[in-house]
Amino acid sequence: MKTTKSLSRLGSLLDNVQVQVSIAAYTKVDAKWRQMNFVPEFNRFYYIREGEGCLVIDGVPHYPRPGQLFVMPSGVKQSYYTINENGFGKYWCHFTAKIGDTDLFRLTGVPSHIDVTDHDRLSRLFEQLIEHYHSRQFTAALMQKSVLLEIVSLYLERAVEGRQMFRADEEDSGIRNLNLVLKYIESHLHDNITVPQLAALVHFHPNYLIRLFRELVGTSPIQYVHKMKMEKAMSLLTATEEPVSEIARQVGMELYYFSRVFKKHTGLPPSDYRRLLQERHGAED
């Protein structure tokens, strides 16, 4: 089962997801719908609404049922074809979704499909995606990304139920070592974490770790460490009455440096951040 900590770690990575839609549509395929043994540079979503057919993903054949949402990930050999005259009717889109230079679905290890529970919601999202894809408004690209992120979020939320995600592929040492580094950071936020420490943990040269981190996470190791420290500090400022100096100590920073980094992260000094939250909660009460 997925632990709270590992989901939190995955959530921190999702802050850096970048998505781009290249096409979106609804299609009722005909008997000629077929492509074999290709490796795309983009992902596909297929939301099956009717009909039958076959999808082959990384050598595994699937026969989707209406109500299932499939992801055909980039960089993986795949095929698709009809199996009778009753071809698929499906919402679909081509898109990229990356954290750093790494495909989101490779990094998270999601299953090939989910069983959709709210069909009206997902159909509505795809209709919106198609509408924004054809729109000429100057904000259309932003709206496409917004809707696609909601579809991706729906997929991930459903996928984590009872499944082990963020599984480092045993053949992918980069992702496996990244997972070790993220776990170390998570449990040592009270320390002064350095790049050489993190590199030594996985027997990497510091420069190589920095490159790998930027590729897989989209930020430098120290930027990620600061982000996690600030999230912990924000939680402590919200949920406790601990002095700011004590909170700085709990995230492994000198007070003056902590205050500077916190203001850069939130736009407010720690004391003002706490005061604003208290005033807001008081107004709600």
Residue 81's pLDDT is 96
Residue 164's pLDDT is 47
Between CA 224 and CA 195 the distance in angstroms is 11
Residue 3's pLDDT is 53
Per-residue 3-state assignment (H helix, E strand, C coil) for 190-201: CCCCCHHHHHHH
Strand ranges across the sheet with 34-38: 34-38, 78-81, 54-57, 60-62
- Asked if 119 and 68 touch (Cβ cutoff 8 Å), the reply is no
**pLDDT in 10s for each residue of the chain, 285 residues:** 445 555 566 666 777 788 999 999 999 999 999 999 999 999 999 999 999 999 999 999 999 999 999 999 998 999 999 999 999 999 999 999 988 777 888 777 788 999 999 999 999 999 999 999 999 999 999 999 999 999 999 999 888 875 545 444 444 667 778 888 988 998 999 999 999 999 999 999 999 999 888 877 878 999 999 989 998 999 999 889 999 999 999 999 999 999 999 999 889 999 999 988 887 766 555
Residue 169's pLDDT is 46
Q: Give φ, ψ of 155 to 5 degrees.
A: -60, -50
Residue 102, CA distances (Å) to 19, 91, 97, 206, 216 in order: 12, 25, 9, 20, 5
pTM: 0.72
Between CA 115 and CA 154 the distance in angstroms is 11
Tokens, residue 117: 């529970």
Tokens, residue 160: 């984590």
- Asked if 123 and 91 touch (Cβ cutoff 8 Å), the reply is yes
By the 10 Å C-beta count (0-12 exposed, 13-18 middle, 19+ buried), 263 is classed as: middle
Between CA 13 and CA 140 the distance in angstroms is 26
Q: Dump pLDDT digits (tens) for 130-167.
A: 999 999 999 999 999 999 999 999 999 888 875 545 44
Give the list of residues 6+ apart from residue 74 with CB closer than 8 angstroms, or none. 40, 41, 42, 43, 96, 103, 105
Residue 176, CA distances (Å) to 38, 44, 53, 88 in order: 27, 26, 35, 37
